[in-house]
Amino acid sequence: MAKQLFSPKSSIITLFGIVSVLLVLIAFPIQSPVSLKGFEDLPSVTDEDIQLQGILVNDHVLPKLLFQFTFLGQGQLTVGEESFNLSNRSKYCSTNSHTEQINCNIVTKIYADQTSIELLFLKGTKINNFNWKVVKYKQKTTLSAVMSDNIIYTSLAFGLLFLLAFVYFTQSHQALQQWGVIAITVSFITINDAIFSLILLIFLFSIYRTNFLLSQSNNRLTKLSAFIFISIGFLLLFKYGKEGIYSIFQNPGQLNLLMPLGVSYFIIRLIDTQLRWYRGQYLSISFREFLFFIIFPGTLVAGPIENIQNFYKNRIVTLASSDYAYGLSRIIIGLFKKIVIADGFLYKLMSGGAFNSILFSDGTNSLVNSLIVDPTGASGSQIIIFALIGIIFAYVDFSSYSDIAIGFSRLLGYKIRENFNFPILAVNIREYWKRWHMSLSDWAFQNIFFPLMIKTRNSHIPVVVTMMTIGLWHAFNLSWFSWAIHHSSGIILVSILEKHFRVNQRILFFLTPVRILLTLSFASMGFLFVYFNDYEIASTLYLSLWKKILPFL
Amino acid sequence: MSSAVNYEDRIRKLLCDEFGLEENLDVNEKIFSSGFLDSMDVLTLIVLMEKEFAIKVPVFEASLDMFDSITEINKLIAKYQ
């Protein structure tokens, strides 16, 4: 089997690239979307009662914050309308028996864009430490606003019904149907953000033109200028589109898919189409067909990522009643998974509420808050139970979006590929990645892993780069970098083990439940980096879990 | 055109020797998408084909589909030889 001609040069270049990414991530951390002003000069000892006013500003997010105080004395923290007592009698505080210092940890959620924070300390209070951090935040999106606004919600529902009716009545006129659907989708984006919509259309049209140039020209300069043009377009789109993009695209599985590649899903479809053109495939497509594929409303918001070839191959020319039955039932299944299982049960289990008093409650009244407040003191079972519930939540939540997208697309006359194949039943982490977000992992396999494997003549380095790309596509930060290292190490380890140890199939079969649990636990450890936006909390929990599993570390 | 040359038997033999596939493997049988071979085996296969048929597989033009059956591999060899 030693026929694999390892290419040291390209492998070293690739590894160098990975290290450079890490250095960039450390040197230029992404600015927090939340800022707090007003507590810069907190006195260490108060000569009289003091009252400080601060203001917390957040940029299109719903943050969860942790305030930490260590002091001797008494005070009060007010966040918006909510007040927290800072004293040894408060349920948020504990007293150190040696130093008698009071230690308070307050976890609170912020909903407004600007929130006033008031800090009050009684005379004679000695303040040793004051610290705050953003533990986690959710992006605000138009869809989340839509859900909370009845008028927009109703008009969106009518808009969707209109779209379905239009598709039904124009089945025999494909061109008319496609232009109509494009017009309806673009109107929706335009109502939301007109300039973004305009830039988007110009950008897509330019890409369409330049790609023909790219595939047909042999002139290096033409190719180079086309590439530069496309890159500038991407940059402009990101730079301008930041707010508009945040507000249009949804965040399935709460994986923070929006940062900084807000237009993540259609960028992925664009790259796939470009590479097909580059290979000389699918060149005869018209601008209408290209545009329709890229902004197809069924998969615009949250995938699955279909490629242009299968998209048109699986078009249903005449919708039958069975298509309607299938589409509607997938939407109903999706809504049930999202509303009842994910949000109604699993999310509450993770983030607080009645269920948590059955599990681990220590006055902070939720499992996640007890991990946030004291990540070093958390027990192994607490961390892993949280991570397992978390990853099952992410799976149910994300796959519910895919169910709805697949169902809705069917009603529009397109059979879209599946995105999940019960990843929670995978028997190893490699198989897990063949079952989780399959449309993205297939895309990454074809467009990143495969070319890089041919180039480096190695099958391990491309795994790292592929996971790194998937991770940093979600958000360009250290958390996703660590997530990528975690998952790629697992995949490489499985590959090496499979290659060198041939275990009896029957034994493997009997070990299936254990393997499923191990795989899910491993995947859920990576989820810790995804869930917490605060890297310190995520890495502390992650490392402490490894130390509990392998005590010699 | 070298496409007239048929390497199907040689490819089948290589697949049998290296990966232990059936000797009567059909030329159109999908070897990756039906799970006979794992996607990780593709590198071994590429190196094997490159050596045996003196071809070079270009980095961005290749895809897994091009190795998915004896017929496809045969086409690939004809294209890059």
Please judge whether A451 and B60 are an interchain contact, meaning their C-beta atoms are less than 8 angstroms apart.
yes
Specify the residue for token string 């070839």. A309
Q: Which A residues, 487 through 506, put their C-beta within 8 Å of a C-beta on chain B?
A: 495
Contacts of A4 in chain B (CB under 8 A): 43-44, 47
Chain A: nearest CA to B57, how far in angstroms?
Answer: 8
Q: Which A residues, 235 through 294, put their C-beta within 8 Å of a C-beta on chain B?
A: 275, 278-279
Q: Examine the pLDDT at A253 and tell me if it is beyond 70.
A: no
Asked whether the beta carbons of A356 and A373 are under 8 A apart, the reply is no
Specify the residue for token string 């017929």. B71
The residue among A268 and A241 whose pLDDT is bigger is A268
H helical segments located in A363-379 = 367-373
Residue B39 burial (CB count, 10 A): 17
User: Considering only alpha carbons, which residue of chain A is nearest residue B18?
Assistant: A1
Q: What's the pLDDT tens digit per position in A364-411?
A: 467 788 888 888 888 888 889 889 998 999 899 889 989 999 999 999
Predicted local confidence at residue A222, as pLDDT: 67
Candidates B43, B45, B67: best to mutate against A (most CBs of A within 10 A) is B43
Confidence of residue A153 (pLDDT cuts 50, 70, 90): low
A457 at interface of B, judged by CB pairs closer than 8 A: yes
Predicted local confidence at residue A363, as pLDDT: 46
Specify the residue for token string 């993540």. A264
Q: Which domains does chain A have, with CATH numbers?
A: 35-137 (2.60.120.380), 142-313 (no CATH), 341-549 (no CATH)
Contacts of B19 in chain A (CB under 8 A): none
Note if the pTM is more than 0.95: no
Q: Which B residues, 27 through 46, put their C-beta within 8 Å of a C-beta on chain A?
A: 39-40, 42-44, 46
Predicted local confidence at residue A355, as pLDDT: 52
Q: In this complex, which of A3, A275, A450 lies closest to B48 when CB atoms are compared?
A: A3
CA terminus-to-terminus distance, chain A: 34
Predicted local confidence at residue A289, as pLDDT: 92
Q: What's the pLDDT tens digit per position in A192-233?
A: 667 777 877 888 888 888 776 666 666 666 666 666 666 666
Predicted local confidence at residue A414, as pLDDT: 92
**Residue A23: burial class (beta carbons within 10 Å; 0-12, 13-18, 19+):** exposed
Q: In this complex, which of A3, A5, A454 lies closest to B57 when CB atoms are compared?
A: A454
H helical segments located in A170-307 = 174-192, 194-216, 220-248, 264-278, 287-294, 297-300
Contacts of A495 in chain B (CB under 8 A): 40
The residue among A156 and A101 whose pLDDT is bigger is A101
Predicted local confidence at residue A416, as pLDDT: 93
Question: In chain B, what percentage of residues exceed pLDDT 70?
Answer: 91
Query: What ipTM was predicted for this assembly?
Result: 0.84
Predicted local confidence at residue A526, as pLDDT: 94
Predicted local confidence at residue A147, as pLDDT: 56
Lowest mean pLDDT, pick from A497-506, A512-521, A532-541 = A497-506
Q: Examine the pLDDT at A478 and tell me if it is beyond 80.
A: yes
User: Considering only alpha carbons, which residue of chain B is nearest residue A272?
Assistant: B60
Domain count, chain B: 1
Predicted local confidence at residue A264, as pLDDT: 66
Greatest mean pLDDT range, A280-284, A374-378, A520-524:
A520-524
Quote the longest CA-to-CA distance of chain A.
82
- C-alpha A36/C-alpha A70 separation (Å) is 19
Quote the longest CA-to-CA distance of chain B.
33
Asked whether the beta carbons of B51 and A3 are under 8 A apart, the reply is yes
Predicted local confidence at residue A420, as pLDDT: 93
Confidence of residue A251 (pLDDT cuts 50, 70, 90): very low
Q: What's the pLDDT tens digit per position in A87-144?
A: 888 888 888 888 888 888 888 888 888 888 888 888 888 888 888 888 888 766 555 5
Q: What's the pLDDT tens digit per position in A49-78?
A: 888 888 888 877 788 889 988 888 888 899
Please judge whether B62 and A457 are an interchain contact, meaning their C-beta atoms are less than 8 angstroms apart.
no
Predicted local confidence at residue A248, as pLDDT: 44
Average pLDDT over residues A440-457: 86
Size of interface A-B (CB pairs under 8 A): 41
Predicted local confidence at residue B7, as pLDDT: 84
Asked whether the beta carbons of A542 and A530 are under 8 A apart, the reply is no
B2 at interface of A, judged by CB pairs closer than 8 A: no
Q: Which A residues, 306 through 365, put their C-beta within 8 Å of a C-beta on chain B?
A: none
Predicted local confidence at residue B4, as pLDDT: 53
Provide the token pair at B23: 């000797």
The residue among A30 and A520 whose pLDDT is bigger is A520
**Domain limits for position B49:** 2-80
- Which CATH number covers residue B54? 1.10.1200.10
Asked whether the beta carbons of A328 and A440 are under 8 A apart, the reply is no
B55 at interface of A, judged by CB pairs closer than 8 A: no
Predicted local confidence at residue A48, as pLDDT: 81
The residue among A190 and A430 whose pLDDT is bigger is A430
Q: What letters, b where the CB count within 10 A reaches 16 and e where it falls short, cover A366-390? A: bbbbbbbbebeebeeebbbbbbbbb
Confidence of residue A356 (pLDDT cuts 50, 70, 90): low
Please judge whether A279 and B60 are an interchain contact, meaning their C-beta atoms are less than 8 angstroms apart.
yes
Contacts of A453 in chain B (CB under 8 A): 42-43
Predicted local confidence at residue B55, as pLDDT: 85
Chain B: nearest CA to A384, how far in angstroms?
Answer: 31
Confidence of residue A181 (pLDDT cuts 50, 70, 90): very high
